[in-house]
Chain A
Amino acid sequence: MRRPIAISLAFLAAVPLLAGVAGLPVHGDPSAPVHTHVSARYIEHGVEEAGASNLVTGVLLNYRGLDAAGEVTVIFTALIAVLAVLTVASTRDADASNHDGRVRRSDADRRHPDHPVSPIVHFVVRLIAPFTALYAAYVILHGHVTPGGGFQGGAILGGLFIALTMVLGKERTRPLVRPVLAPWMQGAAVLTFAAVGAVGALLTGVYLGFPVDPSLRIVRDLMLIALEVGIALGGAAVLAMIFLQMEAS
């Protein structure tokens, strides 16, 4: 019953989408609007204006810096929401489960059975862990010259932490996140944006402004790298914390 309705709705939705797609400029056409407006300017002046050979990084952190600042605020807000929902839930639902008469699946059922991790997975994860960390550092610090950047490197770091936690157990990875440092790590991206934005305001008079003067090129490069590192640490910490919180519940 449900399936035919869903299929017909999906086909119905496809009709206007396909009609719109058919009216777009041909794929790869150099005269399409996407290539002739801001993009043309980015490609022509991007390197000297934004200070990054990788134009994607230049556009993300310099031209659209405010957008990226909002973006890191979004992931930070997501972390806050996850913590809020799960923490409230763990206290209140425990009370509720005592009162309602429904048969709930027992706690032991919900928790992962304590089976040992396969030795192959264990070995491989431990083998590639240092190389993954090195790769993440390269992606982060070289993001303004080669493909990569803070978000990508942060995702790799966060993934590494999650893989290690799943294989080695929480006891082994917990020392990586000091309780004192954890909140600062989770807010690292937002705080870095605020700090770099303030530096930009001092130098250029505009929040998150980057100096264009050739003599200040080193300052601009440092600002870009600081943003990359901040985004990466913040992103990785947020991913790791979301994972730990979900696993704990």
Chain B
Amino acid sequence: MLTALWHNIDYVASVVLFCIGLYVVIAKNNLIKKFLGLNIMETAVFAFIIALGVIEDGQPPIMTGDAHGPFASPLPQTLVLTGIVVAVSTTALALTLIIRVYRRFGTIEADELRELE
């Protein structure tokens, strides 16, 4: 188990980053910080997917004249490109909603908002 984890240390780094994001989402009180945590979690997932496509001694998957294999898998990179765009969209919408919450209640601290109910 531990040797397997050591060989997959790149994936372990993504797991650590993901858990840091999860911690930020739960522990922080400020809504913007919570969404920063969510963005950290998204980044961890992207890093994990990109790391899956890596190949030993690989080249970037760009087929110019003198390029020779092995090539890194292009599919994970494409999927992550899609994911980043969706992450940007959700972040923009979340920030908009936070702006609206702040305008309505004058605070974006989660516990103060809970007291207002």
User: Interface of A with B (CB < 8 Å)?
Assistant: 2-3, 5-7, 9-11, 13-14, 17-19, 21-24, 26-30, 32, 34-35, 38-39, 42-43, 46-47, 53-56, 58-60, 64, 67-68, 71-72, 74-75, 77-79, 81-82, 85-86, 89, 93, 96-97, 102-105, 145-147, 149, 151, 235, 239, 242, 245-246, 249
Contact = CB atoms under 8 A, between A and B. Distances in A.
A22 B4 contact: yes
13 contacts: A6-B22, A14-B16, A18-B5, A28-B58, A34-B75, A43-B61, A43-B73, A56-B81, A71-B85, A71-B86, A85-B100, A97-B103, A103-B106
Q: Which 6 A-B pairs have the closest CB atoms?
A: A78-B89, A6-B27, A39-B73, A6-B26, A55-B74, A55-B61
Contacts, number: 180
B64 A145 contact: yes
Given A55-B71, A78-B92, A81-B96, A249 B103 contact: yes
B79 to A, nearest CB: 8
B26 A27 contact: no
Contacts of A28: 54-56, 58
B32 interface: no
A81 B96 CA distance: 9
Interface string B25-45: 011010000000000000000
B55 A35 contact: yes
Contact of A77 (B8, B89, B97): B89
What secondary structure prevails in chain A residues at the interface with B? Answer: helix
Interface in B56-77: 56, 58, 60-64, 69-71, 73-77
Nearest to A84: B96
B113 interface: no
- Which of A64, A77, A78 gathers the greatest number of chain B CB atoms within 10 Å? A78
B46 interface: no
A26 B7 CA distance: 6
A93 B99 CA distance: 11
Given A10-B20, A78-B89, A27 B64 contact: no
Contacts of A146: 62
Contact of A81 (B7, B71, B93, B99): B93
A185 to B, nearest CB: 17
A1 B17 CA distance: 23
Tell which of B8, B74, B86 has the most Cβ of chain A within 10 Å.
B74
A3, A10, A23, A59 — most chain B CB neighbours (10 Å) = A10
Interface in B69-117: 69-71, 73-78, 81-82, 84-86, 88-90, 92-93, 95-97, 99-100, 103-104, 106
A82 B93 contact: yes
Contact of A30 (B55, B75, B85): B55
A19 B2 CA distance: 10
Contact of B62 (A10, A23, A55): A55
Contacts of A249: 99, 103
Contact of A10 (B11, B12, B19, B75): B19
Contact of A22 (B1, B18, B96, B97): B1
